[in-house]
Amino acid sequence: MKVRVFGIEFTCGSGISVADFFEHMSKSKTHGIDFNGYARYLYLKKHDDCYVGLFVTTKDHKKFMEMSGVGGNVEIVARDVTEGAALADFNFFIVHAVTGRGLYQHYHQSCTFTQFGSFTKKYYDSLKAKLIAEATKDVTNKKEQGKIRQRYKPPLTWSYFFRKESFDSLIEKLSRIKSFSFGISTINATEPVFTPLGGISKSVRQTYSFSKDAKLASILPAIRSALKSVSIDDASVDGVDDKDEAITIHLESNLDPLAEYDFDDVANRMAKFNPAIFEKSWMTTELIRIFKSKGSLFTSATRG
């Protein structure tokens, strides 16, 4: 089994910074939280201009199945989990405090970054509610209250980075595509009102939204055609996966994954560690090394 490290990105709405969001999470209750039927434990610490973290998922079944072969005979035997212990999966990550970009470690059956993003959303929403309450505390005018709420309306989003060659195969796995967005270097709009902007703009971002009735068979060829015929700086697809979870897939030319290891090797390197001081673990040290080696990809205002 492979342990892979992916590039990821958190994007906060207006009025809330990535640093505010992660600081709020670090001060909230993050241990023993029930999420999708499992107890979750989130550990967060500030490291230079980043946040490093560990997300642990524990499972409540007390037995596991083990298959062995002796003398040509194969047996599947139920084994007991150590008394007082629980089976656990782990995901380490690092996120830049300003850009929201970073790394997320994952292996089969551990928590995906999409699920982790959903887990963090409750903390983002609670911070947003707190800030709105503080900002409207002494405001009696309903219109002004509405303006304040509108300021914080944009939601938290999270997404992976992917290689360009895998972008096509990834969107094919979606059960529905909601929108396709991309940036191009010049404006090419048919409306005359946009013509004066064409000669002075650096770039423009266009978004095409699709109805629920739109068929994948008609959307996919159009997206492929756009990717081939237009000089696109960046592209993303918002859709729904086969588990009915919202997902955003980014076009990224050089990432997918950034690193890959054998699970047994990783387990041996971290045979025993205290999650309270996870920042001293081999995996966190490795993520910091990769993060620093990629430099501006994670720290600059514009990816690239």
| 8 A C-beta contact, residue 54 and residue 92 | yes
**Is the CA virtual torsion 182, 294, 7, 49 positive or negative?**
negative
pLDDT of residue 230: 54
| 8 A C-beta contact, residue 53 and residue 95 | yes
Does the pTM exceed 0.75?
Answer: no
Strands 38-47 and 31-35, bridge-based pairing: antiparallel
pLDDT of residue 124: 93
Q: pLDDT truncated to tens, each residue of the chain (304 aa)?
A: 888 898 899 999 888 999 999 999 999 888 888 888 888 889 999 999 999 999 988 876 665 555 566 666 766 655 565 565 556 788 999 999 999 999 999 988 888 888 898 899 999 999 998 988 887 877 777 787 778 788 878 888 888 776 555 677 777 778 888 888 876 644 454 445 545 555 554 456 778 888 888 888 788 888 877 766 555 556 788 888 877 888 887 764 434 678 888 888 888 887 777 888 889 988 999 999 999 998 777 887 655 4
pLDDT of residue 185: 47
pLDDT of residue 186: 47
pLDDT of residue 275: 82
The H-or-E segment that residue 175 falls in is: none
